[in-house]
Amino acid sequence: MSRKNLNAKTKIPKLLDNKLKNRRINQIYKKFEKSLDINENFIVAVSGGPDSLALSFLSKIYSIKKNLKVKFFIVDHKLRTDSTKEARLVKNVLKKNSINSQILTLKGKKIIGNIQSLARQKRYEFLFAKCKEFKINHVLLGHHLDDLLENFFIRLIRGSGLRGLISLDKKSKKDSINLHRPLLDQRKNDLIFLSNKVFNFYINDPSNEEEKFLRIKIRKLIYNLKKEGLDKDKLTMTINNLKTSNNVINFYVSKNLEKNTFFSIKKDQLILNREFFQQPYEVVFRALSDSIKFVGKKYYSARGKKLDRIIVDIGNDSTYKTTLGGCVIEKVNQTVIISKEH
């Protein structure tokens, strides 16, 4: 370790360093530091909730100790009347604790429909634009252990496959940007404790007090399951076991894409050979989904019953043509050609 890094702790603002001396907060930080392995500059997404505020504190300490630059962004989605006021309040609270941040405000038409999903997509678009602007390849997100468990049940209710059930990983990639979730081992109660101790503040989303979103109902379900003996530790163990199985499938999906596809740069087409469709069904499903996402340059992978139908029809018909995910999918002789829809 360099002399510069050995002396890094002296750079931690006294106000933050004093908070770090709290035994429980120090334990939270040690778990955070162990979970995060970044040696490059990064961006932190801040909402003002206890999880993102805790993430702000922990990542600020981490950046100083590792001698890295970090940028904090608060996204104002304009979803509520007080959202702009709240964003400014969060910015001021962070500033009082030696954390400088910037507010990114959503402009244009108000988000309607699946609000949480669309807001998340807009938030990523904002953050990825900032990554490009500052030449940064890493974004830290505030998902925690409770989020991991809630997502599992939400996807279970929706009938998701294995990949959907374990959708939250400590590290993933979108549009060449590395997304890190270093709080996935942390319980929400610990993050609330930290936010109260460090900032004496956090924002409660009003929707958390209503039965408006499915996520809130799931929290009550998890609480009731605990009474029956199915606690968070057992649920986490199950999810980790499923992740191991998922990694095995992903290995064969990668092999299928590597061996049985060819991309024509000249024609901007992805060609799938006959062997591509002779793999186990889940391998074919994922590989085809990823192929459509790649060619269509979409944010999410194609999925669902229509993709199931396409795989069946390709196997049954000598000629076949359809569209999905902004792509034209056409069977020609023994190959399938995927091209961008114009």
Backbone angles phi, psi at 144, to 5 degrees: -120, -175
Q: What average pLDDT does this structure show over 209-222?
A: 73
3-230 maps to which CATH number? 3.40.50.620
Percent residues over pLDDT 70 in the chain: 91
Domain ranges within the chain, ordered by starting residue: 3-230, 251-340
Q: In the structure, what pLDDT confidence band is assigned to residue 108 with cuts at 50, 70 and 90? A: low
What are 192-213's pLDDT values in tens digits? Answer: 999 999 999 999 865 544 445 7
**Which residues, 6+ apart, have CB-to-CB distance to 58 below 8 Å?**
28, 29, 32, 182, 183, 194
What does the pLDDT read at residue 24? 97
Q: What is the pLDDT of residue 220?
A: 87
How much is the pTM? Answer: 0.80
Backbone angles phi, psi at 97, to 5 degrees: -110, 30
Q: pLDDT band at residue 337, thresholds of 50, 70 and 90?
A: very high
Give the count of alpha carbons within 13 A of 341, CB side only. 14
Alpha helices in the chain (DSSP H): 3-6, 14-20, 23-35, 50-65, 83-96, 115-134, 145-157, 162-165, 188-198, 214-227, 232-260, 281-296, 305-316
CA distance 3 to 100: 27
